[in-house]
Structures are given as structure tokens and as C-alpha cells.
Amino acid sequence: MTAGRSLRIALFSPALSAGGAERVLSLLANALAAEGHAVTLITLAASDTDFFPIAPTIRRIGLGAQAISGGPIEALRNNAGRLRQLRSALRAARPDALIAFCDQANVLALAASRGLPCRVIVSERTDPARHEIGQLWSGLRRLAYPWADVVVAQTETVADWIRREIPGTRVAVIPNPVLPPSIAKQPGSPGLTPPTLIGMGRLSREKGFDRLLEAFAAVSPTFPDWRLHLLGDGPLRETLEIEARRLGIADRVNFPGNVADPAAHLATADLFVLPSRYEGFPNALLEAMAAGLPVLAFDCPSGPSAIIRPGVDGMLIPADDVPALRDNMARLMADAAERRRLGGAAVGVLDRFGLPALLRQWVNLMDERAG
């Protein structure tokens, strides 16, 4: 491949449903297509489950092969079928380069592309040291990752884990990109809307929204006018709604569900909190900072410490320290001037993690000479 020449690029992931990895995949696909590359986007899920829009110039292939297996024999049969379907799609696309997202999809992509004349790049989208994928898939990952031309991690912490745990793997670090918000944040007019604290992400255990509810309930008597919005959906939504009722804050907590473009919510919020137990490279945090919000985040593995400059454009709280989260939330909820100072500096993420520079890194990885 020659740098600057139009490439045939295949992108593969389990789905294009609501989620951070899927959002980055759609951004990458659209940006590559806008540069004139011939992009094919393949998912195990059918294309009618897509949450994020893609450009009409992108060839979209939904394999419709995401059925849940009833046991190990059926799982083996289903995965063999997925490999055949994916290999057939790759043969038809004839890509110069294949990029896969997410652990199990990475393994499938590496197996399905064996022997095909394309450069293969796979990407971990969370912290594999803490995200369990089961003994079988973990073993297959250890076997397959050295086959990749490059494995992309989002942070140096994850890159070090891959180098240590899967010797022989070639690793590069590319963080997630962030785009300018579609709606600019305007200073709130006192009395028009109640002050709002916002959290955003999949409603699952690793995102830690149960801890945010606990901290918000603790500060609520001091700040009775504040509201909490939790954007996103997931398996713990009902559990979190029940917990909000148990804590006596259900009338002050809103669950808007999945939002394709959260800019309108971020533009009217006053404070953003990321209470995760672990992360990959949190898009939600990047988007909140790009919108000019002051941010609080647990210093969890991995991601927040690579984004927030403590005391400059946000605050890092010791991991899992809910009382510290509570106290620092209260401090910022009480100090509008400090919120404005941190939010004003936070927009610097648009320079540090802007899409154009990070897109160049992806294209360079797809160039055999750069590799």
C-alpha cells in the first residue's frame, strides 16, 4: 500500500449498537470514507440493529449471526458458521487492510483472515486485565493476537499488559478521538432550569453508577435543587431505578436512555461524573470535556488518568473511594466559579484528542511501510 492512495478498508465488530466502541467505529468509518477510501463495514449483528449513522458511500454488511448459543456444542457450530460468513465477506471486499474492534471479534477476524492478502489490525476497547471474556476466549486471544500485524490499545497501561501477557504481539497505542459538540454549551440562566449533574455510559456494573447514586443521595440534603441525569441503557437499568427509589432520590434522578448525540444534554448540564470501576478510554468523559463541562472521575484502570489533568481541567478521585467522590461533588456543586474554571480548560481535549491527528495514526498503521 502507498500512503496517500485510496485504500480498500474493511472494519469489523460485533454490532453497531449503542456503545463507546461502536461510536468510535462509526466515526472511523465515516472519516475514512470522507477521505476517499473504499470502506466496508461488517458486523455479526444485522444492519437493522444499527444505532449510529454511517455515510451512504460505506458498503454495509450485517451478517445476522449474533444468535445466543444454547451450549458448548451449539456455540462451536455457531462460531464455525460465523467464521465462514466473515471469511466470505472479506473475500468479496478484498480489503488492503482489515480493522477489528473488541476481544472476541478480534479473534474471529484473525482466524477468518488467515491467508488472505490484507494487513490485519485488531483493537482492544476496554481493559483486558479486568474485563472477563472466559477461559476459552482468553486462550484463543493468546493464540491469535501474535498473528495480527498490529494490536491497538487505547492506553500505555493496556499496551504494557498485552506485551507482558501475550509475548510476540506487536502493539500500538491510539486513544479514542473526540469531535466538537454539535451544540455549544451556553452559560445557564439562573432560575430557568435546576442545576444538573450528569453521568453517561452503559448501565452495567463496570460503569459504577450505583456509586454515583450513593454519593448523590448523600449530598442531596445539602443541595435539594440539583438533579441527576444518567444517559444510557443496559442490563442494570431496572436495578439502578430501584436503588434510586430505595435511596429516596427517585424524583430527582432521570434515566433518558440511549442518546445518539448527547450534546443537548451536556450543553445544559453543570457537572459531569464518571464513577467507573474500570474503563478503556472513556468516550463519555471526552465528550463531556469537549462540551466545556467540569468533570470528576474515579482514577480507575485505565483511561481517566490519560485524559484528565488533575486540578487543571478536571478532578481525579482515588479509585473506589465513594466518600471522596461525595465530598468533591459537594465541593464543586457549591462552587460555580471553580466549575467554570475547570470547564473552560476541559475543552482542550479537542486539541489533544482531535479526530484528524488520530485518523492519521490509523491510516499509517494500514500502510505496510509504516508498519
Domain for residue 221, yes or no?
yes
Residue with cell 479486568: 130
| Residues 44 and 156 placed together within one structural domain of the fold | yes
| Residues 134 and 267 placed together within one structural domain of the fold | no
| Residues 67 and 21 placed together within one structural domain of the fold | yes
pLDDT score, position 188: 45
> Are the beta carbons of 332 and 296 closer than 8 angstroms?
yes
What is the layout of strands, in order, in the sheet containing 315-317? 253-257, 227-231, 196-200, 271-274, 295-298, 315-317
Domain for residue 145, yes or no?
yes
| Residues 130 and 89 placed together within one structural domain of the fold | yes
> At 370, is the pLDDT very low, low, confident or very high (cuts 50, 70, 90)?
very low
List b or e across 265-284, with b for residues whose CB sees 16 or more CB atoms inside 10 angstroms: bbbbbbbbbbbbbbbbbbbb
> At 78, is the pLDDT very low, low, confident or very high (cuts 50, 70, 90)?
confident
Dump pLDDT digits (tens) for 280-296: 999 999 999 999 999 99
Q: Rounded to whole angstroms, how far apart are CA atoms 367 and 158?
A: 23
Label residue 337 exposed, middle or buried (CB < 10 Å: 0-12, 13-18, 19+).
exposed
- Report the 10 Å Cβ neighbour count for 291: 28
Which residues are bridge partners to 199 per DSSP?
230
Structural domains in the chain (count): 2
| Residues 234 and 298 placed together within one structural domain of the fold | yes
Element (DSSP H or E) covering residue 316: strand 315-317
Q: Rounded to whole angstroms, how far apart are CA atoms 27 and 275?
A: 25
Domain for residue 43, yes or no?
yes
pLDDT score, position 190: 43
| Mean pLDDT across 245-250 | 98
Dump pLDDT digits (tens) for 232-245: 999 999 999 999 99
Domain for residue 189, yes or no?
no
Q: Rounded to whole angstroms, how far apart are CA atoms 44 and 61?
A: 9
| Residues 62 and 28 placed together within one structural domain of the fold | yes
Q: Rounded to whole angstroms, how far apart are CA atoms 248 and 265?
A: 24
pLDDT score, position 239: 98
pLDDT exceeds 70 at position 369: no
| Residues 172 and 226 placed together within one structural domain of the fold | no
**Range(s) of the domain holding residue 362:** 8-177+354-366
Task: Write the single-letter amino acid at 229.
Answer: H
Dump pLDDT digits (tens) for 335-357: 999 999 999 999 999 999 999 99
> At 5, is the pLDDT very low, low, confident or very high (cuts 50, 70, 90)?
confident
pLDDT exceeds 50 at position 41: yes
| Residues 160 and 288 placed together within one structural domain of the fold | no
> Are the beta carbons of 200 and 231 closer than 8 angstroms?
yes
Domain for residue 188, yes or no?
no
Radius of gyration of the chain (CA): 21
CA nearest to 51, candidates 255, 257, 210: 257
Domain for residue 346, yes or no?
yes
Q: Rounded to whole angstroms, how far apart are CA atoms 158 and 280?
A: 8
29's CB contacts (< 8 A; 6+ apart) are 11, 39, 41, 54, 55, 58
pLDDT score, position 186: 62
